[in-house]
Amino acid sequence: MSKIKVKNPIVEIDGDEMTRVIWAMLKEHLVLSHLDVDLKYFDLNVMERDRTDDQITHDAAEAIKEYNVGVKCATITPDADRVKEYGLKKQWKSPNGTIRAILDGTVFRKPIMVKNIQPAVRSWKKPIIIGRHAYGDLYKCVEFEVPGKGRAELVFTPQDGGESTVLNVKDFDGPGIIMGIHNTDKSIRSFANACVNYAVSEGVDLWFGAKDTISKVYHAHFKRVFGEIVALRQKELIEAGINYRYLLIDDAVAQMMKHPGGILWACKNYDGDVMSDMVAAGFGSLGMMSSVLVSPNGQYEYEAAHGTVRRHYHLHQKGEPTSTNSVASIFAWSGAIRKRGELDGTPEVCGYADKLEAAVLGCIEDGIMTKDLTHLVTPHQEKYETTEGFIGQVKKRLEKSL
């Protein structure tokens, strides 16, 4: 079989544990077997990050800046136990966090849907994609336990020597708590631009919710800055047939429960943290959740939303069979391949991504699946494939369609 030529490189980022095992299989059987592609390879397994003092993570992010498309395997974010387990120099930062910061990107999570897994919410027919603003608010807060009677104030001192602004937060007459949170216009604009990029790229409507009726400055400002970017890019949205809608966050939540889906829900940081877990649970399984990091400049990095599936890796190490779901990792590859094809103007490359995804969905809809899905499908089934068995079945089906 002759291979399909991919014009420009894809940045490939390898990772850890079970997902690393799966990664090698996918690359051999579903990527390099059919595509002639230049993969710029960065090995982000935790030992390599440790050896290079995490330089490799920075290099990988810079490569995505250069080539615009990346695909990433799940990686360990070391905690104290992992430092011991792997003998690391220190608790290296989350590679995803580092790459996101370098690209100034926003993460969009999109469930992968199949006919035989019904979402928990009856009206959901298409994916609800969550875009979470991953900067500021609660996650960069300054907080304080008020010990007793006293005044709490909010003070801003301009750097140019102007007069300070002082606002009274609360005159406490006993113990309590206070918190200071912030965001920046720059970060809100990057978030809004990434959301518009993603909505245009996927052809889905864009919703944004906040609570500006109560927070008449903070949330209202956020809403205005976000809305200004949307207004600036109105022409692109109209051309793509995309509607933008601002809603109060509680209204957005209520609407979502009767919505058919097929939309991008842009969330402030905390809302995104909470709602992405709700939506993920509502659609079924972590193994079926894809994720893409989009920069305001139009760079894309695709990955699975789940982690390195450590428990399965330990079984694998003991030589026991595993049944780990590779669907989200396969969709990371197909997402990157399709985006590469779109940016290069090579429809045959996009076509390959479509066929790969169709092969995966076709398998599951015909009852070929990993163990995690057997109790989610209707009707429930006993029979399941091993990790490599499922990938082999996808390959067979894919090759029939090529």
Interface positions with ligand NAP (CB under 6 A)? 74-77, 96, 286-287, 303, 306-311, 324-325, 372
Nearest-CB residue for ligand NAP:
307
As measured in angstroms, the least distance from the Cβ of 134 to Mg ion is 11
As measured in angstroms, the least distance from the Cβ of 284 to Mg ion is 17
Q: Tell me the window of 68-76, 162-170, 243-251, 270-278 that interacts with Mg ion (CB under 5 A).
A: 270-278
CA angle 128-285-365, nearest 5°?
A: 90
66 makes contact with Mg ion (CB under 5 A): no
Q: Tell me the window of 11-19, 204-212, 276-284, 388-396 that interacts with Mg ion (CB under 5 A).
A: 276-284
59 makes contact with Mg ion (CB under 5 A): no
CA 399 to chain centre: 29
As measured in angstroms, the least distance from the Cβ of 23 to ligand NAP is 12
Rounded to 10 degrees, the C-alpha dihedral 267/270/276/278 comes to: -120
Per partner kind, with CB cut-offs from 5 to 8 A, the member of Mg ion, ligand NAP, none near residue 309 is ligand NAP
Burial class (CB in 10 A: 0-12, 13-18, 19+), 144: exposed
Strand partners of residue 172: 150
Do 284 and 123 touch, CB atoms closer than 8 A?
Answer: no
Per partner kind, with CB cut-offs from 5 to 8 A, the member of ligand NAP, Mg ion, none near residue 193 is none
Residue 162: phi and psi, rounded to 5, are -65, 180
- Identity of the residue, 312 or 340, whose beta carbon is nearer to ligand NAP in the bound complex: 312
Closest CA to 68 of 304, 282, 336, 279: 336
As measured in angstroms, the least distance from the Cβ of 178 to ligand NAP is 32
- Identity of the residue, 23 or 283, whose beta carbon is nearer to Mg ion in the bound complex: 283
Question: For 152-167, b where at least 16 C-beta lie within 10 A, e where not — what string?
Answer: beeeeeeeeeeeeeee
As measured in angstroms, the least distance from the Cβ of 324 to ligand NAP is 4
As measured in angstroms, the least distance from the Cβ of 136 to Mg ion is 16
Tokens encoding 220: 């209202």
- Identity of the residue, 192 or 327, whose beta carbon is nearer to ligand NAP in the bound complex: 327
142-146 and 10-14 as β-strands: parallel, antiparallel, unpaired? unpaired
